[in-house]
Amino acid sequence: PEARPLNFVETAIQEDLAAGRFTTVQTRFPPEPNGYLHIGHAKAICLNFGLAQRMNGKCNLRFDDTNPSKEETEYVDAIMDDVRWLGFQWDSLHYASDYFEQLYDWAEKLIADSKAYVCDLTPEQTREYRGTITEAGKPSPGRDRTPEENLELFRGMRAGKFPDGSKTLRAKIDMASPNLNLRDPVMYRISRAHHHRTGDTWCIYPMYDWAHGQSDSIEGISFSICTLEFENHRPLYDWFCKSLEIHHPRQIEFARLNMTYTVMSKRKLLQLVNEGHVSGWDDPRMPTICGLRRRGFTPESIRDFCDDIGVAKFISMIDTGRLENALRKHLNKVAPRRNAVLDPLKLTITNWPEGKVEMVDAINNPEDATAGTRQLPFSGSLYIEQDDFQEEAPKKFFRLKKGGAVRLRYGYILDCHDVVKDDAGNVIEVLCTYDPETKSGADTSGRKVKGTIHWVSAPHAKEIEVRQYDRLFKVENPEKNDAGGSFLDHLNEDSLKTITAVVEPSLVELKPEDRVQFERKGYFCVDKDSTAEKPVFNQIVGLRDSWAK
């Protein structure tokens, strides 16, 4: 990694190491397996794994699986795939559910120390008793129970003696605290939900705040990095660690990533999937890691993007164009160039010898000398792009026009002398002659033309399906809805367009996830739906940022 100024997280870590508060950098990435990872998670992954890499530390992957009703093994597997694909390997793998027994023992310890009690309030009453920022809370009637009573009730909760939702275990902290999180937060709830790992062993489950810090502590995490929403949970995080007298990690908060023209909460992404607005979690328009992967993004470009946007303490909205630019930068270096005509117009060379096929040399990647060249078949029957031809063209139009000349990339200079039209008057074929003296690399004519266009030899062309994508939402911030509607009101109904393109023959040999640049058109990636009979490509991005003003 190149030298850059330390971000505030790194500075905080260096200070703690220098002061001897911690001796190692041990971080973790703690996803809840209730959905697929998105680009926001990629930021947290790059941050946590990146810190460990740069500071000679370790990073764990921990599934924060304490809320069984929404969690599934499918998500666990997908998350591991995504982290690996992004290029990171965890030092050890953990599940918060592995700590259920330890958490339970610690809860009994807090009860014995009069720091936790069993509460009989309903969820609504609990909320009501908690009070508001301007109004102190009221103590729960359970607050004065003795440790003995609490212990018996809590054991009863675990043993399944009480119905779901009828009791909770709460930390006994301060019902008048200005920080609502400290007003006797719930530690356990009763819920007979089947857990993807512990099955039906438990009918009480720990709340996030009770599970998270203690899981960090068990794993010897030194720096527990999380998003800003948890800043005012930090006093609670600290209170639990202090009360239990266990290893006490330092929680550091950073601003979560928000991006334009998309949504980033798993709940909303799940809704897009469930309601069929997209084809699945890996729909190439989704901001999920698997969606970006299928679209054709590279792990390198996502990591570069995360590095580029940096880590800060204030919330901001990042232009999706920046992610696309990171991808262009990478693919420009590594993507082989190929010829594809997305909107074909027939072109016939009237003086080309009947049936003759000539092989021409084409450069695979001008940015990479080691990529070499390939041979392309050239013939008297070609396809060019519709918009590379105009019958009546303005002076500044340097592509092909009637009576004009253009160079075919890797081929010859053509002079257009006529067109063929259909009954409606549309040009359906362009008739040209070629100038044999002008072959690319062996031009002896001295002729100069301003435009160069790409082409595909018609008898050798293969057809592919191309899926062209637009933004999934029509507005920069679909979650902002002053009128009180839903983010779905802003869906772009025309975000997918499917066309048939003609391409040079070598393209049909590519495999899913192979990425290429179609010359002059943009970057494309073979989709997982692709077969030898029916190749399918996704448009990843155009060559330039067409969204930039």
Query: Cα angle at 185 between 235 and 172, to 5 degrees?
Result: 85
Distances (CA, A) of 427 to 23, 390, 451, 457, 501: 74, 9, 20, 19, 18
Nearest to 82 by CA among 56, 51, 61: 61
Q: State yes or no: is 266 an active-site residue.
A: yes
Which among 155, 256, 374, 474 is annotated as catalytic?
256
Other beta carbons within 10 Å of 192: 13
The response to whether 522 counts as a known ligand-binding position is: no
> For residue 324, which amino acid is it?
E
Which parts of 231-270 interact with ligand ATP (CB under 6 A)? 256-257, 264-266
Judged by CB under 5 A, the number of residues near Mg ion is 1
Of positions 53, 227, 348, 381, contacts ligand ATP by CB under 6 A:
227
Nearest to 137 by CA among 154, 150, 116, 121: 121
The response to whether 1 counts as a known ligand-binding position is: no
CB of 265 to ligand ATP, least distance (A): 4
- Residue 256 partner contact from ligand ATP, Mg ion, none using kind-dependent CB cut-offs of 5 to 8 Å: ligand ATP
SS3 369: helix
> For residue 71, which amino acid is it?
E
SS3 363: strand
Tell me, residue by residue from 6 to 35, as one string, x for binding to Mg ion by CB under 5 A and - for no binding: --------------------------x---
The response to whether 462 counts as a known ligand-binding position is: no
The response to whether 205 counts as a known ligand-binding position is: no
Query: Nearer to Mg ion by C-beta: 75 or 410?
Result: 75
Nearest to 308 by CA among 285, 324, 295, 294: 324
Query: Nearer to ligand ATP by C-beta: 227 or 348?
Result: 227
Based on the shown chain and the rule CB under 6 A, indicate whether residue 121 belongs to the binding site for ligand ATP. no
Nearest to 208 by CA among 177, 223, 229: 229
| Residue number, nearest CB to ligand ATP | 40
Q: State yes or no: is 256 an active-site residue.
A: yes
> For residue 142, which amino acid is it?
G
Which among 58, 172, 234, 266 is annotated as catalytic?
266
Based on the shown chain and the rule CB under 6 A, indicate whether residue 44 belongs to the binding site for ligand ATP. yes
Based on the shown chain and the rule CB under 6 A, indicate whether residue 46 belongs to the binding site for ligand ATP. no
Contact 472, 259 (CB under 8 A): no
Query: Nearer to ligand ATP by C-beta: 255 or 475?
Result: 255
Q: Candidates 38-46, 113-121, 133-141, 369-377: pick the segment binding ligand ATP (CB under 6 A).
A: 38-46
Nearest to 416 by CA among 398, 426, 399, 431: 431
Distance between CA atoms of 287 and 321, rounded to whole angstroms? 13
Q: State yes or no: is 391 an active-site residue.
A: no
CB of 251 to ligand ATP, least distance (A): 11
299-329 in b/e burial notation, b at 16+ Cβ within 10 A?
Answer: bbbbbbbbbebebeeeeeebbbbebbbbbbe
- Residue 40 partner contact from Mg ion, ligand ATP, none using kind-dependent CB cut-offs of 5 to 8 Å: ligand ATP
Chain residues binding ligand ATP by CB under 6 A are 30-32, 40-41, 43-44, 64, 226-227, 256-257, 264-266
Residue ranges binding Mg ion (CB under 5 A):
32
* Catalytic residue IDs: 32, 256, 266
Annotated binding site: 32-34, 38-44, 64, 208, 227, 256-257, 264-266
Q: From the annotation, which residues make up the binding site for ATP?
A: 32-34, 38-44, 227, 256-257, 264-266
